[in-house]
Amino acid sequence: MLPPNNRDDACRPPRSPAPRSPLAMTAHPIAVEEYRPEQEPYYHPVGDEVALFEAAAAGHIPLLLKGPTGCGKTRFVEHMAWRLHRPLVTVSCHDDLTASDLVGRYLVKGGEVVWVDGPLTRAVKVGAICYLDEIVEARKDTTVVIHPLADDRRYLTVEKTGQVHPAHPDFCLVISYNPGYQSALKELKVSTRQRFASLAFDYPAPAVEAAVVAHETGLDPARCDQLVRLAQMTRNLKEQGLEEGASTRLLVHCGRLMVAGIDPVRACETAIALTLTDDPEMVAAVAEMVAAVF
Ligand code: ADP
């Protein structure tokens, strides 16, 4: 099996339609997670987050984005990479992800042992935005490597090679986590948190969310409003035991199914109800909401 930093699911490619430059595609043999948006990734601001990101990047302050899944954090970072003309390196953290996956490792290539930089090392060297998505999922040794990068020292120590890399002036560290469903065991350590400025994300306000769904799907505005109304109803089900209500991402999926000609009720069942829960009672509760809205 390939090591995690060679796996597509460890390092996500951009999900926005912005094409990648050929240079970014070929510069490294495993450059799947590194890209430079050429077209503006669509992002509808919800507050002053664009100005705050720009100020933090200029002041070398790392950022912590917190909020529920599917509410626009990743798209925001993609947009900021485009605005700031910096490459973006995204790593989706998971519980097998180690410091070596971020920093690099020795690999055997053509009978020779060669050092291959990991995504964090490449970002530090080229001055990219490094986005560590769901950082609390990663193994604890990853915090050891990000600490000196996330304070005034701004350097990366690569233990295995004995090298210390001062971060490029444009290097910018962004991490995200979802406080809603992370257990106390997976809380960020205070010593880690206190290196970051924090931006709280939530689902956009109804009019903005409807505009986002319309832009992303081409669905007609009245249907977008209905989808947002449905999403808000499911978000209220959290008190009744649903882990999380429908995210903006799920509304986008649902809208795309509708635009492709799927009946709205069936689209909601497929993209929302059955995705949110396996509990038959909860599925029925969402189905009632769908029937009330459509
Ligand atoms: P997160 O990183 O918070 O899990 P994403 O950034 O992947 O979520 O958002 C999921 C989808 O929702 C995006 O692909 C995009 O289609 C849409 N989206 C959510 N919020 C916004 C926004 N403010 N502007 C543009 N698109 C958004």
List of residues 6+ apart from 186 with CB closer than 8 A: 136, 137
Among 212, 228, 254, the mutation site with the greatest number of ligand 1 atoms within 8 A of its Cβ is 212
pLDDT for 240 equals 85
Mean pLDDT, rounded, for 43-47: 97
Give the range among 8-17, 84-93, 243-252 with minimum mean pLDDT.
8-17
Statement: the pTM of the whole predicted model exceeds 0.85: yes
CA neighbours within 13 Å on the CB side: how many for 216? 25
Mean pLDDT, the chain, rounded, equals 87
Residue 230: Cβ within 10 Å count:
25
Structure tokens, 121? 């090392």
Confidence band, pLDDT 50/70/90 cuts, at residue 184? low
Q: How many angstroms does the Cα of residue 157 sit away from the middle of ligand 1?
A: 33
* Cα gap 232→40, rounded to integer Å: 29
* Cα gap 133→217, rounded to integer Å: 25
pLDDT tens digits for range 123-163: 999 999 999 999 888 888 898 899 999 999 999 999 999 99
Query: Which atom of ligand 1 sits closest to the CA of residue 71?
Result: 3
Widest CA span in the chain: 65
Query: Which atom of ligand 1 sits closest to the CA of residue 133?
Result: 2
Confidence band, pLDDT 50/70/90 cuts, at residue 183? low
* Cα gap 43→116, rounded to integer Å: 34
pLDDT for 180 equals 74
Q: Is the CB of 73 under 6 A from ligand 1?
A: yes
Is the separation of the CB atoms in 245 and 234 below 8 Å? yes
**DSSP annotation of 47:** S
pLDDT tens digits for range 267-281: 999 999 999 999 999
Is the separation of the CB atoms in 71 and 201 below 8 Å? yes
Is the separation of the CB atoms in 163 and 52 below 8 Å? no
Q: Is the CB of 252 under 6 A from ligand 1?
A: yes
Mean pLDDT, rounded, for 277-291: 96
pLDDT for 106 equals 95
Q: How many angstroms does the Cα of residue 47 sit away from the middle of ligand 1?
A: 15
Instruction: Look up tokens 């490029």; give the residue.
Output: 168
Angle between helices 73-83 and 49-58 (to 10 degrees): 60
Structure tokens, 196? 């970051």
pLDDT for 10 equals 36
Q: Is the CB of 256 under 6 A from ligand 1?
A: no
CA 208 to chain centre: 20
Query: Which atom of ligand 1 sits closest to the CA of residue 76?
Result: 6
Residue 3 above 80 pLDDT?
no
* Cα gap 248→252, rounded to integer Å: 6
Element of type H or E holding 174: strand 172-177
Q: How many angstroms does the Cα of residue 150 sit away from the middle of ligand 1?
A: 26
Query: Which atom of ligand 1 sits closest to the CA of residue 69?
Result: 4
Among 74, 75, 259, the mutation site with the greatest number of ligand 1 atoms within 8 A of its Cβ is 75
Please give the residue that has the higher pLDDT: either 179 or 283: 283
Q: How many angstroms does the Cα of residue 46 sit away from the middle of ligand 1?
A: 11
Task: Give bridge partners of residue 66 from the DSSP assignment.
Answer: 177, 200
Please give the residue that has the higher pLDDT: either 225 or 37: 225
Q: Is the CB of 253 under 6 A from ligand 1?
A: no
**Taking CA 280 as the corner, what is the angle to CA 276 and CA 285, rounded to the nearest 5 degrees?**
70
Is the separation of the CB atoms in 167 and 179 below 8 Å? no
pLDDT tens digits for range 13-33: 334 444 333 333 333 443 435
